[in-house]
Structure 1
Amino acid sequence: MRKVYADARTALEGVAFDGMTVMSGGFGLCGIPENLIAALRDTGVKGLTVISNNAGVDGFGLGQLLETRQIAKMISSYVGENKEFERQYLAGELDLEFNPQGTLAERIRAGGAGIPAFFTATGVGTLVAEGKEVRTFDGRQYVMETGLVADLSIVKAWKADERGNLVFRKTARNFNPMMATAGKLTIVEVEELVPTGSLDPDNIHTPGIYVDRLFVGSFEKRIEQRTVTAREPAEA
């Protein structure tokens, strides 16, 4: 099965459709699949439900899809510094499902592991628990959270081989590995593609069985107005 594609646009061919659910890796501006986000914007698909820790910043990352009104709902843990995200939510133009950050991570991990639901003490007695089942175990209350899966996971990695085995670098190893397992289809953009067999098996973070398509991205575009620099491409 051919997994290597020329670029983000060709990797997305035949995949994107209106109303789909997308998991997008990264944390803030760290380890985000910037080329795939831009290519997804260019497809013009609408009504997206996006699962991501946050929504980038204004004009960059997922902020691009907010500006073009292609996102209908965010499932995330942090509004952050994206003013358009905040504006759309407060104006009732964007549905938002807030999750404690650890709960969001576990929901994604559970979805990738085929676990439909789990119980956690986080959020009991708060707005997070409204409308959800609460049970008592050993005298303590726990709220039930469901696992998350997506039609498409878009992931950023440092290295990959031609079979799709992935290595992440530093803080880019955040939501990316677990999202790679929780997509019905997973597309990865990498900084370096190496021959199959050249990666040390002990250093592989995500096995290629989870990866359907990959490509080598270009990372020239940076956010000049931010204090975050691009000296470490894998972290930008």
Structure 2
Amino acid sequence: MAKPFLETDGPHHVAIIMDGNGRWATQRARPRLFGHHAGARRVREIVEACPENGVKYLTIFAFSTENWKRTQVEVAGLMSLFRRYIMKEMQAFVKENVRVRFIGDRPKLDAKLRGLMDEAEAMTAHCTGTNLTIALNYGGRDEVSRATQRLAQDVAAGRLRPEDVNEETLPRYLDTHVLPDPDLVIRTSGEARISNFLLWQSAYAEYEFIDTLWPDFSADEFAKLCAKYGLRDRRYGAVKA
């Protein structure tokens, strides 16, 4: 049964760079894909923890436009994992009232995976609880490039005047146009970089870089980071009177 959302001072939209699956597996003398499977299981726990922490939107970085550089074995294994994950989890997400969306450059993914993504979005379109967005074949620069191409097409067709192009116009063309900007971005595994994730949207997000490897990231640690966010003084460039 879906959990009610608590009203908190914490973040309403949390984005997570789920890093460390490979290292987690290596520490256990297992193949990297073993870590990716463990990481996929962790997603459910964090999704289920969102309502009690007041998090209405959760965006996770599953596969970047740069991840194609990995070995063919790992990429093929990840694509198979994504297909199985969608087929396995969708009924549970419907039951939990979780709406699922995907962002990223879809045409480069295989047809079966794209079909499952479309099906998952359609199956959960009526859900009104947690909004789970999965970034798959996603890169921030690629997203902005695709958005500006669509914007330029509208200008060329006369649907948009050049003088109306501004920082409020461009977001309408981004993959995330139906989502609020993230309040908090978390990166696991000890790396302190954003890796081309939600570059435009995270301009005023708070960041947490933590040492925990993604398969070990727990609902308790998630709750602590959300509570810590609520203690921050968010001024958006202004100065308190």
Query: Shorter-chain-normalised TM-score: which range?
Result: 0.3 to 0.5
Normalised TM-score (structure 1): 0.37
* Higher share of residues assigned helix: 2
* Higher share of residues assigned strand: 1
**Greater relative CO, 1 or 2 (CA 8 Å, sep 6+):** 2
